[in-house]
Amino acid sequence: MPELEQTKKPRRGWKIAMISVVALVIVGGGVGAATATTWLPAASSSKTPGDAAPTPSSTPKPPAIPVTVTTTPEKGAASVNPGTPVVAQAENGTVSSAILEDTATGETIGGELFVSGQKWISQGPLKFNTGYTFTVTTLDSAGTRATHVSTFTTVPATHEADLVMYPSSGATVGVAQPLEFNFSEPVINKEAVENAIKITSSTGQVGAFHWYSDTRVRYRAADYWPANSAITVEMNLFGVDFGNGMIGNFSKTDTVNIGNKVVMEADATAMSVNIFVNDQLAKTYPVTMGDAAFPSASGFLVITADKQRFATFKASTIGLKPGDPGDYGSVDVEYATRLANSGIFIHQATPSAMPYLGVANLSHGCIGMSAEGAAWVFNNMKPGDLVHAVGTPNETIAPTDGFGDWNIPFEQYASR
């Protein structure tokens, strides 16, 4: 028995030693610790060893759609109307900047952006016969810039059109004065030109245009302009197409003043004239008017701007030649006030005709007066004042032989 006890002790000691070794390995550091962790149970996971950690999913961003730019006028355009706005229109982006400049001088024309920055429109008129450079910078949805450059030229100087108005701005005229517009170029687009000329009277009168040719139009009211009123003429002709490529080159506003109403009633049968100022009889004078061979014109005539303190009349200017009946050669007169381009005047009668004032008609169509009467007309009647001739067998003057517009009924006048 004592031997058996001795043989068992070593085995118990071995177990204790193994347990100690295992414990030492578990709690120890270094390689033993790394090896021991492989013995621990793995955390539950659907991934197999070696799988990467999950990452957020992403979609590639598509590239920005290219910006397209449309410009008006088109690149390389010629004879561009300088009154037409210049426009840049962007699609799939916006206009970042637009520079419109005179190619030669660098002078720029301003403009404004519209439609959320997609359209740029110039705000000032261009010049005739000028080259322009139009530089447009755009931005796409990604913020990328692109530059578009175009050039064009405007209408040449040979195709500029303008006009002269009579009476001139600021003038004071009579109640019968039509407004006359003489154009430098034939007007084909008459309605467009009429619409560009706005005429208003301070008394609100309605009037109408009447075209006598492609280069001449007049405007008058249905009745005479009221005394001491004013007429405003707005000529917005810049950029207006007259036709045949001719373009209006200016815009301005003129004012014409109307003075007192002065009307002369000239009676060839009574051989006298009555002059009314604002419908009140002011003067009466004996006269001599046209004889049977050369009767005075009837109807309405308008005093013109042509006044000559001393004038020389020649028979040749009215078609008479030496030896013709009625040829008077050349005579000198005073206080000559023109009524018609054909040679009709109010003037002081010649010395030989003075005894016949109020007695006989001896003139070649003019109204001969005493020195006092002719001087009064010369000094007191103005362009646009009216002369109404009655008692004569002659026809009325032609509408453009002076201002014979009042011999045309307004309904006919307004129908052109």
Q: Report pLDDT for 142.
A: 92
**Domain(s) of CATH 2.40.440.10: residues in the chain:** 262-405
Q: Report pLDDT for 16.
A: 35
Residue 232 tokens, joined: 């405003």
The residue-averaged pLDDT of 50-64 equals 62
CB 389 within 8 A of CB 271: no
The residue-averaged pLDDT of 316-331 equals 86
208: Cα within 13 Å, side-chain hemisphere: 15
The residue-averaged pLDDT of 396-404 equals 97
Burial class (CB in 10 A: 0-12, 13-18, 19+), 293: exposed
- The residue whose two tokens read 């619409």 is 195
Q: Report pLDDT for 415.
A: 84
Whether 13 has a pLDDT exceeding 80, the answer reads no
Span 349-386, pLDDT tens digits? 999 999 999 999 999 999 999 999 999 999 999 999 99
Q: Is the dihedral of CA 211, 414, 169, 343 positive or negative?
A: positive
Main-chain phi, psi angles of 78, to 5 degrees: -125, 160
Residue 248 tokens, joined: 């209006």
Q: Report pLDDT for 323.
A: 83
Q: Is the dihedral of CA 410, 414, 415, 416 positive or negative?
A: positive
Whether 46 has a pLDDT exceeding 50, the answer reads no
CB 177 within 8 A of CB 384: yes
Span 76-132, pLDDT tens digits? 999 999 999 999 999 999 999 999 999 999 999 999 999 899 999 999 999 999 999
CATH architecture of 262-405: Beta Barrel (2.40)
First to last CA, the chain: 158
CB 150 within 8 A of CB 72: no
Q: Report pLDDT for 324.
A: 85
Whether 416 has a pLDDT exceeding 80, the answer reads no
Residue 90's contacts (CB-CB under 8 Å, 6 or more residues apart) are 67, 68, 69, 117, 118, 119, 136, 138
pTM, two decimal places? 0.80
Q: Report pLDDT for 337.
A: 98
Name the least confident of 27-36, 121-130, 156-165, 184-193: 27-36
**Domain(s) of CATH 2.60.40.3780: residues in the chain:** 68-155
Q: From CA 313, how far away is CA 316, in angstroms rounded? A: 9
Q: Report pLDDT for 376.
A: 98
The residue-averaged pLDDT of 304-311 equals 98
- Which CATH class for the 159-258 domain? mainly beta
Q: Report pLDDT for 51.
A: 52
CB 261 within 8 A of CB 175: yes
Q: From CA 271, how far away is CA 287, in angstroms rounded? A: 5
**Domain(s) of CATH 2.60.40.3710: residues in the chain:** 159-258
Q: From CA 256, how far away is CA 118, in angstroms rounded? A: 46
Q: From CA 350, how far away is CA 332, in angstroms rounded? A: 8
CB 329 within 8 A of CB 364: no
Q: Report pLDDT for 266.
A: 98
**Three-class secondary structure of residue 336 per DSSP:** strand
Q: Report pLDDT for 326.
A: 81
**Is the domain 68-155 a CATH 1.20.140.90 member?**
no
* H or E element, residue 304: none
State how beta strands 119-122 and 87-91 pair. Answer: antiparallel
